[in-house]
Amino acid sequence: MFIWLNGKFIDSSKATVPILNHSLHYGSAVFEGIRCYDTADGPAIFRLKDHIDRLFYSAKTIGMEVPYSKGDILEATKVLIKKNKLKECYIRPIIFYGEKMGLLPVGAPVHFAIAAWSWGKYLEKDSVSIKISPYVRIHPQSSVMGAKISGHYSNSIIAALDAKKSGFDEALLLDYKGNIAEGPGENIFFVKGKKVFTPKRDSILPGLTRDSVIRILKDKKFAVVEKNIRPAEIKNFEEAFFTGTAVEINAIGKIDNKLIGKGNIGTVAKDIKESYADIVRGKIPKYRKWLDFINV
For residue 226, the minimal CB distance to ligand PMP (Å) is 14
Q: Nearest to residue 164, comparing CAs of 175, 153, 156?
A: 156
Please choose, out of 58-66, 182-190, 229-237, 274-282, the segment that lies near ligand PMP by the rule CB under 6 A.
Answer: 182-190
In the annotation, is 131 catalytic?
no
What string marks each residue from 137 to 166 as x (binds ligand PMP by CB under 6 A) or -? -------------------x----------
For the segment 28-47, give every residue that binds ligand PMP (CB under 6 A): 33
Binding test (CB under 6 A) with ligand PMP, winner from 22, 131, 210, 273:
210
The residue among 108 and 292 lying less far from ligand PMP, judged by its C-beta, is 292
Q: What residue number has its CB nearest to ligand PMP?
A: 207
**Helix intervals (H) in 187-266:** 208-219
- Residue 51's Cα: distance from chain center in Å? 10
Specify the stretch interacting with ligand PMP by CB under 6 A; choose among 89-97, 184-192, 233-241, 252-260.
184-192
* Among the residue ranges 1-9, 21-29, 208-216, 231-239, the one whose residues contact ligand PMP (CB under 6 A): 208-216
Contacts of 104 (CB under 8 A, 6+ apart): none
Within 75-94, the residues that bind ligand PMP by CB under 6 A are none
The least distance separating ligand PMP from the CB of residue 12, rounded to whole angstroms, comes to: 22
The one catalytic residue in 131, 148, 194, 283 is: 148
Q: Residue 237 and residue 6: Cα distance in Å, rounded?
A: 48
Stretch that binds ligand PMP, among 101-109, 111-119, 206-214, 268-276 (CB under 6 A): 206-214
What is the Cα–Cα distance from 48 to 296, expressed in whole angstroms? 15
Assess 187 for contact with ligand PMP (CB under 6 A). yes
Smallest distance from the beta carbon of 10 to ligand PMP, in angstroms?
26
CA–CA dist 13, 75 (Å, integer) = 23
Contacts of 180 (CB under 8 A, 6+ apart): 172, 174, 188, 199, 229, 230, 231, 234
CA 238 vs. chain centroid, Å, equals 25
Q: Compose the 228-267 pattern: x for residues touching ligand PMP by CB under 6 A, - for all others.
A: ---------------xxx----------------------
Nearer to ligand PMP, 2 or 90 (CB): 90
CA–CA gap between residue 161 and residue 170 (Å, rounded):
9
Q: Interface with ligand PMP includes 133 (CB under 6 A)?
A: no
End-to-end CA distance of the chain: 23
| Cα distance between residue 210 and residue 72, in whole Å | 27
- Looking at the DSSP assignment, which residues form a beta bridge with residue 93? 114
Our CB check for ligand PMP shows the closer of 13 and 141 to be 141
Q: Which amino acid is at 113?
A: A
β-sheet bridge partners, residue 189: 241
CA distances from 195 to 7, 101, 271, 279 (A): 47, 50, 14, 22
Residue of the chain from 77, 133, 203, 209 that contacts ligand PMP (CB under 6 A): 209
Asked if 205 touches ligand PMP (CB under 6 A), the answer is yes
Pairing of strands 258-259, 248-255: antiparallel
Catalytic machinery residues: 148
Q: What residues line the site for ligand PMP (CB under 6 A)? A: 33, 156, 182, 185-187, 204-205, 207-210, 243-245
